[in-house]
Structure 1
């Protein structure tokens, strides 16, 4: 369903792959001839059926614009996007759960500060934040590279440095969102009767908070972390454009602008597979985190 919808929406945009290949000086006859060669003159349902027959066998076809194999292009771009999204999700989860737990236990100013940061982070566009970080930490302070990507096979240190600003830019909204969810879930659990009973038994507060409080509050937190991972796939489109990263997001943008329907379909399929896998892993985490299914 997603691939079919993408096919229809892409066909409605003004970009034309044949015109992109031939350039603006091409005649209408030349464009029409190349469209016939590409199969773009066929009905939309016939184009989609031809793509679908090959896709179900694992053949995503070739790019209409560059004639590059879609599979090879995706395999080259995926190692750029995945570390970016995974790194941003991990940073969001670690900082968000830590801040949320501290806020639930201490409250007061910390809780108010998290609320204010949450509102601010959701209001600030990621592309604007990325440009500000580039200006402050790269262009002026010269602490990190401005843009670009370094393959880890060349230098692991340079690879990590090239990902710092994109990861931070992508993770900001996630940190405060997860912190708010953690604080709410944690405070609700800490107010339950069994926590009061554990305190009455004389168990140390850190043990109660970590061993029993966080475990019971973990399921809604895991759900939100999975949701943020999926949303960061969409955010990577903007962040990769800002930092000139050759990932799936920038490939999706360039494919849409050039009318490269085959390449765009390949990106959409990979994104959908990632979303399904992430949701499956979140469901598995439910079973692992469910206190009723774990030994005491």
Structure 2
């Protein structure tokens, strides 16, 4: 198990280095335009060259990258070129907004999907048709359209929930819950689609296997067979799909944050990219990669615990 963890950590570290290096190399092509944007449209070539030297952009690209990397390892991610705000503080404050929405949405997605998927495979009938209908709607209807409909129903027509804005949990837990309810519902409706279908399919396959029939002949209750044996065997692939749902939610955070005017990670990354704020872009990239690597590592460890054979891959 220890070697399994080390192997996964090593792969995550290599991926992080490659992604940040490639990102920095791509950003290096915009050094001139970034320097010019700080000076204005009337900047002379000499002034742009002087600004590049002041920002350190005149050094070899790999020297700049490894200088950034050495500081990042020590927790120093630099400061924004346009606001002078420390990158670490800026990213973490925005990331907390996005994660407060995604974590809640992911937990609800897992609970609803497991309940629907297991019941659909076990009971069939009306529940199975409901599960398939939910999956179909979630797969066919874009998150943006779901979000717009929810805003119209709950914010404009009934005024039950706020349409935009975000209240930190520490300021007012009730208003925080109200401010994230519509974004969470939009993400859950979309996320439940794929995960419910996956769990339903895997549970149907498990319940048809020989070991299930053997357990039934021994007089073990069906509920115990479903929840203690079949669900555990079906959990591995479902966890992989859940990790993909997390990445999809995280990657699609920009849409949700723009629709609901949330000061989150996605909109912050988008605005920084438009400005060419290189220290912020590098910080956003690093945090995003580390977050994805961490989620995949947790899923790998859970899969290794559920199925020891997975550790050899």
Structure-1-length-normalised TM-score: 0.88
Structure-2-length-normalised TM-score: 0.84
Question: Could you report, residue by residue, the CA deviation over 1:257-294 in whole angstroms, capped at 9, with x for unpaired residues?
Answer: 110111011011111111111112112212433499xx
C-alpha distance in structure 2 between counterparts of 1:30 and 1:132, whole Å? 51
Question: Could you report, residue by residue, the CA deviation over 1:210-263 in whole angstroms, capped at 9, with x for unpaired residues?
Answer: 122212211111121122112221011221122111121111111101101110
Report whether the alignment pairs 1:275 with 2:299: no
Alignment of 1:28-39 (within 5 A): 31-39=48-56
Who is 1:88 aligned against? 105
Alignment of 1:219-230 (within 5 A): 219-230=236-247
Q: What is the aligned counterpart of 2:119 among 102, 115, 138?
A: 102
Classify 1:277/1:142 alpha carbon distance in 2 versus 1 (closer, same or farther; 3 Å): same
Unpaired runs of at least 5, structure 1: none
C-alpha distance in structure 2 between counterparts of 1:13 and 1:243, whole Å? 31
Q: What is the aligned counterpart of 1:188 among 187, 190, 205?
A: 205
Compute the displacement of 1:85 (Å). 1.4
Matched length: 292
Q: Which has the larger displacement, 26-35 or 179-188?
A: 26-35
Q: What is the aligned counterpart of 2:89 among 72, 80, 88?
A: 72
C-alpha distance in structure 1 between counterparts of 2:68 and 2:278, whole Å? 10
| Aligned-residue CA RMSD (Å) | 2.5
C-alpha distance in structure 1 between counterparts of 2:55 and 2:294, whole Å? 33
Classify 1:42/1:129 alpha carbon distance in 2 versus 1 (closer, same or farther; 3 Å): farther
Unpaired runs of at least 5, structure 2: 1-17
Contact 2:34/2:276 (CA < 8 Å) preserved in 1?
Answer: yes
C-alpha distance in structure 1 between counterparts of 2:74 and 2:265, whole Å? 22
Q: What is the aligned counterpart of 2:160 among 143, 152, 165?
A: 143
Q: Which has the larger displacement, 175-184 or 227-236?
A: 227-236
Classify 1:217/1:135 alpha carbon distance in 2 versus 1 (closer, same or farther; 3 Å): same
Q: Which has the larger displacement, 101-110 or 183-192?
A: 101-110
